[in-house]
Structure formats: structure tokens, C-alpha cells
């Protein structure tokens, strides 16, 4: 009887993390994006981790996410170099800690820890403060939805800018807050579902 070869690979981060996303647009290799969460805001990073299925070897590239702690990270389903993050940052001159979300591109650079290229920021300020996730439509990488407070905002991402096209609001006793959201990959990606506590 032939014994299975079970490879175990480990990769350690310099800082704590709570955000990971498979890089689904890259179909030839197994890759993940991991976002860090350190209170030293300029030190936060996105790690691109590639796993070799045959050998278990791990290759990595680290990118600087100097805008703040990454609370949520989602890879584009159609472009392996594009991702969204939800992060907290300090708003100056007031010094308030605020949540933001943005669309980024992994730069083509051989430098050690190059900064991510910001494609655009999502204008969520008039819709609430507590941003939970910005998720790409799995069938159309040019559409995304952001969950913020008791709303979800649907965006058109054409020309690497975010244009708000629709707003959905959950109303109920006690003004419940949404905690996450996900696109349904069925039905042509036309459904977005949310959850609350």
C-alpha cells in the first residue's frame, strides 16, 4: 500500500493578522493574500504567499500598506494584481481613528516591500462609519459591494474608479448593524447577501 505524501507548509508573519483571501484570478498556482494588523499604522503589509503543490515550498512577496491596520481583504476574481482592503487609519488634524476602504494594485517591482498602488478609495463617509468588508462580484471584477453600518453599497469599478450605483438598507428594531456580506456566485452574480448579529 502506497503511503500518501502529506506536505505541511508554514509561513510566519512579522505582525498579527486577521485578513486572508485566496487569489482566485490566478489559476496556475496556489496563492493567498494576507493583511497585517499592527498598531504602528505605517508598518502594515500585504503578503502574497505562493504555495508549490508538489514540493510544499512557500514563496512570498511583501507589499507596504501604510494606510493602517487591515481588518478585511478581498482579492479580485478577474485580476490577480487587484485587491480591496478595509482598514482603520488616523484622520488628521482631529486625530480620530476611522474605518476606510480602498482598491489597490500589486506593483510590478523587485524592490523589497514596495508600497501598494492605490487605484481608488470608496466614498463611504456619508453612509456610515463601521466598514466591515468590500467584496468583489465573483463573476464581474468590475463590480463590488461594501458593507457599512446597516447598509450595503454597490459600486461600478470601471476605469479603476468607484462609482456608487445602488444602496441597500437594513431596517429593524434597535437599528441592527450588518457584520458581513457576500455575493452569490449563482444567478449571474446578481444577488448580494448580508448578515447581522
Question: Could you read off the pLDDT of 2-18 as tens digits, one per residue?
Answer: 555 566 666 777 888 89
First to last CA, the chain: 50
The contacts of residue 114 (CB under 8 Å, 6+ apart) are 63, 64, 107
Q: What is the pLDDT of residues 119-173, one digit of tens each?
A: 999 999 999 999 999 999 998 888 999 999 999 999 999 876 899 999 988 887 7
The contacts of residue 25 (CB under 8 Å, 6+ apart) are 75, 76, 77, 78, 79, 80, 82, 141
**Residue 75 is inside which H or E element, if any?**
strand 69-75
Q: What is the pTM of this model?
A: 0.88
Per CATH, which fold does 17-196 belong to? Answer: Methylamine Dehydrogenase; Chain H (2.130.10)
Amino acid at each position: 500500500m502506497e503511503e500518501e505524501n502529506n506536505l505541511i507548509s508554514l509561513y510566519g508573519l512579522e505582525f498579527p493578522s486577521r485578513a486572508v483571501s485566496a487569489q482566485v484570478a490566478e489559476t496556475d498556482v496556489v496563492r493567498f493574500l494576507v493583511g497585517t494588523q499592527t498598531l504602528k499604522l505605517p508598518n502594515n503589509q500585504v503578503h502574497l504567499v505562493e504555495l508549490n503543490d508538489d514540493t510544499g515550498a512557500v514563496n512570498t512577496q511583501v507589499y507596504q500598506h501604510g494606510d493602517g491596520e487591515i481588518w478585511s481583504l478581498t482579492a479580485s476574481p478577474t485580476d490577480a494584481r487587484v485587491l480591496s482592503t478595509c482598514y482603520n487609519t488616523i484622520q488628521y488634524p482631529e486625530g480620530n481613528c476611522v474605518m476606510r476602504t480602498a482598491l489597490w494594485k500589486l506593483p510590478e517591482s523587485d524592490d523589497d516591500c514596495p508600497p501598494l498602488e492605490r487605484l481608488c478609495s470608496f466614498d463611504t463617509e456619508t453612509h456610515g462609519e463601521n466598514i466591515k468588508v468590500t467584496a468583489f462580484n465573483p463573476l464581474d471584477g468590475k463590480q463590488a459591494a461594501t458593507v457599512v453600518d446597516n447598509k450595503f453599497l454597490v459600486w461600478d469599478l470601471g476605469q479603476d474608479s468607484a462609482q456608487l450605483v445602488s444602496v441597500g438598507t437594513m431596517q429593524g428594531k434597535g437599528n441592527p448593524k450588518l457584520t458581513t456580506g457576500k455575493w452569490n456566485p449563482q444567478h449571474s452574480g446578481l444577488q448580494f447577501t448580508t448578515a447581522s448579529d
